[in-house]
Structure 1
Amino acid sequence: MTYDSTASSLTGTTDPAILEELLAIRSSIDNIDATLVYLLAERFKCTQKVGKLKAEHDLPPSDPEREKAQIKRLHALSQDADLDPAFAEKFLNFIIDEVIRHHKAISQERP
């Protein structure tokens, strides 16, 4: 994959020193994004194992009490991290929805 980390609509129109600082900050963002992708991949490997275990034992794909507890936990973590708890909840709900979709698919694949 080719990625131009210096791509910007601001090149040639912005003070080079400011652009250099901007690109340095963006480089940190790019590293964080890559880390997030790999962390999500690891998380989904674990949730796939959970889905298989649930399917093997005829357990439901979702666990509402676990989900509520996770959201509560994430609210506390996000407050400690100075992150908007509402955003953190939306992000977790997106992940939970995807995990449940995977669990349902795994369950339907079993004979």
Structure 2
Amino acid sequence: MPEAAEPIVWSCRDILAPFGWATGAIVRVAPDLFEPEVRTKIRDEVFATMALCPQHRFELRTAYPRAYHDYVRVIAEDRGEYLARAAAGIILRKLGRAHEATGSGRNGRSRT
């Protein structure tokens, strides 16, 4: 049986780092994203990066399971989905892939 790869510990300081890792990386997200002092914007960008990197397996650990469940519940709703797409647009722009970040916003207007 092959030995499991050692996880990459991602501090999330370099929000674009996962885009440069080899396919199939196991990534342990080092900060507890659900600590009360973590800003929602940071959390949204980390989740957007994870969504845009389906080639990796991300591991989240938290001492705040209630906050985690509340966050996931919100992003599963329509409003949350819109907000998650907006965060994904920010990440795509940082990658120089802004053309992939266009689409209809809340008012049906194109976002760029």
Give TM-score, length-normalised by structure 1.
Answer: 0.30
Higher helix share: 1
Higher relative contact order (Cα pairs below 8 Å, separated by 6+ residues): 1
Give TM-score, length-normalised by structure 2.
Answer: 0.29
